[in-house]
Amino acid sequence: MRTPLIAGNWKMNCTLAEARELALAVVEAAKGLNDREVLLAPPFTALSATAKELAGESVILAGQNVAWEEKGAFTGEISPAMLKDVGAMAAIIGHSERRQIFGESEAMINARLRAALQAGLMGIFCIGESLEIREKGQADVEAWLKKQMEEGLRGVSAAAARRLVIAYEPIWAIGTGKTASQEQAQQAHAYLRLLLANMYDKSLAEEARIVYGGSVNPSNIDELMSQPDIDGALVGGAALDKEQFARIIQFQAAN
Ligand code: 13P
- pLDDT of 149: 98
pLDDT tens readout for residues 104-141: 999 999 999 999 999 999 999 999 999 999 999 999 99
pLDDT at 178: 83
Please indicate whether residue 175, judged by its CB atom, sits closer than 6 Å to ligand 1.
yes
Under 8 Å between Cβ of 134 and 178: no
Which H helix or E strand runs over 139? helix 138-152
Q: Which of 170, 201, 188 is nearest to 231 (CA)?
A: 188
Does 239 contact ligand 1 (Cβ within 6 A)?
Answer: no
Residue 169 a catalytic site member: yes
Q: Could you tell me the distance, in angstroms and rounded to a whole number, from the CA of residue 203 to the centre of ligand 1? A: 29
Residue 132 annotated to the active site: no
Number of H helices, E strands in the chain: 12, 8
Give the confidence band of 179 by pLDDT, cuts at 50, 70, 90: confident
Q: How far is the CA of 72 from the centre of ligand 1 (A)?
A: 31
Task: Decide: 211 in ligand 1 pocket, CB within 6 A.
Answer: no
Q: Quick one: which H or E segment has residue 233?
A: strand 232-235
Length of the chain counted residue by residue: 255
Query: Confidence band (pLDDT; 50, 70, 90) for 185?
Result: very high
Q: Is 235 in the pocket of ligand 1 (CB under 6 A)?
A: yes
Q: In this predicted model, what pLDDT tens digit does every residue of 192-232 receive, in sequence order?
A: 999 999 999 999 999 999 999 999 999 999 999 999 999 99
Sketch out the chain's domains with CATH numbers: 5-249 (3.20.20.70)
Which residue, by CA, sits nearest to atom 7 of ligand 1?
Answer: 236
Burial of 135 (0-12, 13-18, 19+ CB in 10 A): exposed
For residue 213, the surrounding DSSP H or E stretch is strand 209-213
Output the CA 73–ligand 1 centroid distance in Å: 31
- pLDDT category, 254, cuts 50, 70, 90? confident
Alpha-carbon distances, residue 120 vs 87, 91, 113 (angstroms)? 13, 11, 11
228 CB near ligand 1 (under 6 Å): no
Confirm or reject: Cβ of 128 under 6 Å from ligand 1: no
Whether the per-residue pLDDT at 1 is higher than 90: the answer is no
Average pLDDT of every residue of the chain: 97
User: What are the tens digits of pLDDT across the range 38-85?
Assistant: 999 999 999 999 999 999 999 999 999 999 999 999 999 999 999 999
Residues facing 125 on adjacent strands: 93, 166
- What is the pTM for the complete model shown? 0.97
- C-alpha distances in Å from residue 221, one per residue of 41, 74, 244: 19, 39, 11
Residues 52 and 42: beta-carbon distance below 8 Å: no
Catalytic residue among 53, 95, 97, 142: 95
User: Does residue 35 surpass a pLDDT of 80?
Assistant: yes
Q: Is it the case that residue 25 has pLDDT exceeding 80?
A: yes
Average pLDDT over residues 165-189: 93
Give CA–CA dist 170/21, Å, rounded.
Answer: 30
Indicate the top mutation candidate among 129, 165, 211, 215 to test ligand 1's pocket, ranked by most ligand atoms within 8 A of CB.
Answer: 215
Question: Are the C-beta atoms of 43 and 18 separated by less than 8 Å?
Answer: no
